[in-house]
Structure 1
Amino acid sequence: MTENLPSLSELDLALVNALQINPRAPWTELAKALDIDAATVARRWERLRTAGHAWVTAYPFGGSGAGALIEIDCAPGQAGAVAELLSADPHAVTVEHAAGGRDLLITAMATSFGALSRYIVDRLGTIPGITATRAHLVTRSYTEGSVWRLTSLNRSQQEALAASRRSALGGSQHLPEYAELVTAIGENGRMSLSELAETLGVSVNTASRRLNRLLESGRLVLRCDLTRSLSGSPVAVTFFGTVSPEHLDSTARELAKLPEIRQCLGLAGPQNLIATVWVSSLVDAQDLEVRLASSLPHLRIADRAVALRAVKLMGRLLDPDGRAIGFVPMNLWA
């Protein structure tokens, strides 16, 4: 664990776990699940949020958008400057220093394949200090960070919170119409409806209706994150794998069920499956790889990238200890 950071209490971890399940749950619901009073819940969350230890982000997902994981090589001594420059880009939603054959690993998102192509070619191709890039284009998401959970709550607590959350119906809500809303709520997924309405210049009812439509459609995702070093799983490793096409879906679905998996994506390229795991140590990462070789016979791990330092996580700017210190709106329509 990072020496500069205190450990979180069991109640703090339980609160984060509760908000992972239902990020916009009222304080009264959270209090009931945690068996404490609502004022204590609100006060503890504000302390966590203000300290940069935990936060709720909202971001666009699915639809006609496009994404890529991009490996970046930098000139000697330039990785820090390049990472800082990229972290200001709304399309570079996650930026990490990484070991194992690349200097940086970033996640890029755009509203279309054409927009993503322009970002990779026209933006990354002109940044001083970048010597090479390797883009892995996403074809399908099997799981991502909003699904990852702590295990601080018991089953009945989890079920109670899950039952009160609206389910994603997979509708066809058109995101660009709500680009302003997506951008407005991005930094604080728990933003009140009155504050959201004031920001958008609409009534509270209109803001509520638009937000609920987006959440129901699955085109807007809410995610509660916490400082990785305080999660009990401080080491992040991204595995680049290959699977024969006929076994890709079944292998990826099984892989996505594992509790260590933060992200599992299908890719177009030499490696067609990528998975990011959070584990307690590098030894655990190696042990997990051994287990994968045994349980998923069609998967071949071709490469591994160990995160050395996260600079940005889904728009959230992080300090060297992983605390949230700012936010770059994920305005993919910019």
Structure 2
Amino acid sequence: MATYLDTPRHTSRSLSDDDMALVHALQVNGRASFREIADALGISDQTAARRWSRLRSAGRLRVLGLTDPLRLGDSIWLVRVRCTPDAATSLGEAMARRPDTTWVHLSSGGTEINCSVRTRGPGLEESLLLQKLPRTPQVVDVSAHCSLHMFFGRHLSPINKRGPLSPAQVAALTPPDAPAERATESAPPVTLDDSDRHLLDLLARDGRAAPADLATATGLSPSTVRRRIAELRAAGALYFDVEYHADVLQQSFRAALWLEIDPSHLAEAGATLAAHPEVAFATAVTGTANLYASIDTTTAQSFYRYLTESVAALPGLRHTATSPTHRTLKGPGPYLPPRP
């Protein structure tokens, strides 16, 4: 789950219950048909289509077809860039425009940029961004931490934890080609050809693009498009996520949480952390701080309670470090959303 740029386009800070049900449905299955959504929610397909069109045209959400780096043999690095205060915004915006970055945040009073960088293969050698950053005059320090095991993320967001749909509705919407995580972790990387890459690039811009439109753009037949999307999804290489405008789900206080956990308790602590309603993303990483999470709470006071109660109770906890986030420059996909 992610948000759009934090520049507000709306005065409302919440959605109606009906709209939130639609959002939850799309998070469960971003390519569900309006008939499937309507059947699960107990509404007409015209109503489902109308609600989606209104929310999308207002820039409040979009569905993205994204790829799992590990299933393609790539790596994800969580990068922390400390820079001079006058350079953080411009440097962060430049990083957000790059297709190899996601989750670009300004934090720590505007002196730090936190982002996710995707590299081809397991190492940092292929990343032009990480080669350039240390030589940028305004950059004070760069540290990179490889994501080793994701406990919460990809197609899951906080709405999967606190959304309005019942378990039966979620089950009805869950796509039949959704892979089992353990089944894909040990599988060999998925091989893509040029038509696959073109198809995935289009889905990264619009995850609900019609098969006919995708067929026209790629030169494939609609049936081939449908089949290949199903195959890539079943292999765990392709998943669908919803990118939200800041006024949909985002709460008032956000922070990055870096935890040092005793290695013998890392798996247990990560699974426990992932179940917390405050956690929007959690992964094991390399480095002294070996567990990272993105936290979303209502106030600074609720964040304090979360730290002193839920986080303090994690097994094997040795040390915590926090970094408040005050602006999101880019969400989960490789491309920034189109301006209204």
Fold-level similarity (TM above 0.5): yes
Counterparts of 1:187-198 in structure 2 under 5 Å? 187-198=205-216
Contact 2:262 2:318 in 1 (8 A): no
Match of residue 161 from structure 1:
173
Structure 1 gaps, min length 5: 319-323, 328-334
Residue of structure 1 aligned with 2:83, choices 60, 74, 85: 74
Contact 1:144 1:264 in 2 (8 A): yes
Structure 2 gaps, min length 5: 1-5
Greater mean alpha carbon deviation, residues 13-22 or residues 58-67: 58-67
Mapped partners of 1:304, 1:173: distance in 2: 34
Secondary structure of 1:315's counterpart equals coil
Mapped partners of 1:281, 1:250: distance in 2: 27
Mapped partners of 2:137, 2:126: distance in 1: 19
Mapped partners of 2:75, 2:239: distance in 1: 16
Cα deviation for residue 301 of structure 1 reads 4.2
Cα deviation for residue 312 of structure 1 reads 0.5
Cα deviation for residue 238 of structure 1 reads 1.4
Secondary structure of 2:91's counterpart equals helix
TM-score (norm 2): 0.86
**Aligned-residue identity in percent:** 25
Residue-by-residue CA offset, 1:287-327 (whole Å, 9 max, x unaligned): 11122344313124421122111010023777xxxxx5459
Secondary structure of 1:230's counterpart equals coil
Contact 2:252 2:299 in 1 (8 A): yes
Q: 1:189 to 1:240 in 2, by over 3 A?
A: same
Secondary structure of 1:210's counterpart equals helix
Match of residue 257 from structure 1:
275
Instruction: Confirm or deny that 1:103 pairs with 2:112.
Output: yes
Mapped partners of 2:212, 2:296: distance in 1: 36
Greater mean alpha carbon deviation, residues 183-192 or residues 143-152: 143-152
Q: 1:156 to 1:232 in 2, by over 3 A?
A: farther
Counterparts of 1:1-334 in structure 2 under 5 Å? 4-6=10-12, 7-61=14-68, 62-63=70-71, 64-99=73-108, 102-114=111-123, 118-150=127-159, 151-162=163-174, 164-169=175-180, 170=184, 172=188, 174-177=190-193, 178-231=196-249, 233-315=251-333, 324-325=337-338
Between 1 and 2, higher relative CO (CA 8 Å, sep ≥ 6) is seen in: 2
Task: Please tell me the root mean square deviation across aligned C-alpha atoms, in Å.
Answer: 2.4
Secondary structure of 1:131's counterpart equals strand
Contact 2:265 2:315 in 1 (8 A): no
Mapped partners of 1:56, 1:300: distance in 2: 38
Contact 1:263 1:275 in 2 (8 A): yes
Greater mean alpha carbon deviation, residues 25-34 or residues 230-239: 230-239
Contact 1:65 1:111 in 2 (8 A): yes
Mapped partners of 1:117, 1:133: distance in 2: 17
Residue-by-residue CA offset, 1:38-75 (whole Å, 9 max, x unaligned): 11211111111121111111211122211111111122
Cα deviation for residue 204 of structure 1 reads 1.2
Contact 1:172 1:217 in 2 (8 A): no
Structure 2 counterpart of 1:168, one-letter code: P
Cα deviation for residue 156 of structure 1 reads 2.7
Mapped partners of 1:140, 1:67: distance in 2: 10
Contact 1:235 1:279 in 2 (8 A): yes
Cα deviation for residue 213 of structure 1 reads 1.0
Q: 1:65 to 1:313 in 2, by over 3 A?
A: same
Q: 1:228 to 1:116 in 2, by over 3 A?
A: farther
